[in-house]
Amino acid sequence: MNENILRVENLKVHFALPGPWWKPPAVVHAVDGVSFEVAAGETIGIVGESGCGKSSLARALVGLTPITSGRAVFAGNIDLSGADKPTWDEVHKRMQFIFQDPIAALNPRMTIAEIVAEPLQTLYPSMGRAEVLERVVDTMKLVGLSPEQINRYPTEFSGGQCQRIGIARALILRPQVLICDEAVSSLDVSIKAQIINLLQDLQQEFKLTVLFISHDLSVVRKISQRIMVMYLGHIMEINSCEAIYSHPLHPYTEALLAAIPQPDPVLERNKPLRLLEGDLPSPINPPAGCVFNSRCPLADDRCRSERPPVVVRTDGAVVSCWRSAGKG
């Protein structure tokens, strides 16, 4: 079993909203106490509806959003909560981020060579110009881009090509961890499959650890070994990919799986509908008890009054639900 490269303990990310001076500010509980571990070389999918805290969690792990409380420990001994700039510089050499919008993530005034080289020039300022250019060319080849394109600008590329540029920018540092925040959600289906295959190939070649964030469980199934299901800033379930799809433990996971379209129109028409009623509650004022109780078809009085603990089962699965205790 590989050692854990990332350990998160009761991590919270809260945002204070500006308001009238005579009132205390409202607080958005974007991430509200999550704990999990990621093994080196593992690909873990993080799923949930928009607003569940996936991106806030990811951005906190790379320092783009401050951690309100709790701990995130990287590589066994680097505490990311309260880390200073030199510490973050060392972390960023080993952990990189791929953004959701591949076009907006690239500076339109910079050439592809400048964009891909920027992390090296920032974090390794003593590296020579020739060595930087050589690494840029090699990395562009790795992600399926032609070295002849290095002097072009992002506006000359398609969305899929821009995402390859974003992957090259992250990969040029040869990191240990890639965090992909909805990295394929804005791409066409065929291009999406190409990028997923590329990420899988890179993961195997460089023994990368990947945190793959998505709202699309069919995409996550393709790339992940384990899946973490989030709802309103909390973890609902963590389990192996096979177990999540064959035997989900949490009612929210069941609802997400039921929403996956079937390619066979007959199966799609005949599958039982388990659509969730109502909207995601406000993270400013989350429900008492289980945060999912307002939309859960199985919720009872206990669910509405007591928050279920996050339980690690004997089979390694993690679940937070009063009603899942009897599931084998």
Q: Which domain holds residue 293?
A: 4-107+175-324
Once rounded to an integer, what is the mean pLDDT over residues 255-279? Answer: 69
pLDDT band at 216 (very low <50, low <70, confident <90, very high): confident
**Count of domains observed in the chain:** 1
Q: pLDDT tens for residues 102-126?
A: 899 999 999 999 999 999 999 999 9
* Residue at 18 is within a domain: yes
Judged against a pLDDT cut of 80, whether residue 175 lies above it is answered with yes
Q: What is the rounded distance in angstroms from the CA atom of residue 187 to the CA atom of residue 97? A: 18
pLDDT digits (tens, 9 = 90+) for 72-89: 999 999 999 989 999 999
Residue 259: predicted pLDDT? 78
Q: So what's the pLDDT on residue 295?
A: 92
Instruction: Indicate whether 233 belongs to any domain.
Output: yes
Using an 8 Å Cβ cutoff, are 313 and 247 in contact?
no
Q: What CATH number has the domain bearing residue 206?
A: 3.40.50.300
| pLDDT, tens digit (0-9, with 9 covering 90-100), for 23-46 | 888 999 999 999 999 999 999 999
Domain assignment present for 124: no
Cα 242 from chain centroid?
19
Residue 99 domain-assigned (yes or no): yes
Q: What percent of the chain has pLDDT over 90?
A: 75
pLDDT exceeds cutoff 80 at 275? no
SS3 content of the chain, % helix, strand, coil (to 5): 35, 20, 40
Q: What are 142-172's pLDDT values in tens digits? A: 999 999 999 999 999 999 999 999 999 999 9
Q: What is the pLDDT of residues 182-205, one digit of tens each?
A: 888 878 888 889 999 999 999 999
In a domain, residue 142? The reply is: no
Strand partners, 177: 95, 209
Report yes or no on 167 lying in a domain. Answer: no
Q: How far apart are CA 135 and CA 115, in angstroms?
A: 13
Q: Is residue 117 part of a domain?
A: no
User: How confident is the model at residue 278, as a pLDDT?
Assistant: 74
Helix (H) or strand (E) holding 210: strand 209-214
- Is 238 contained in some domain? yes
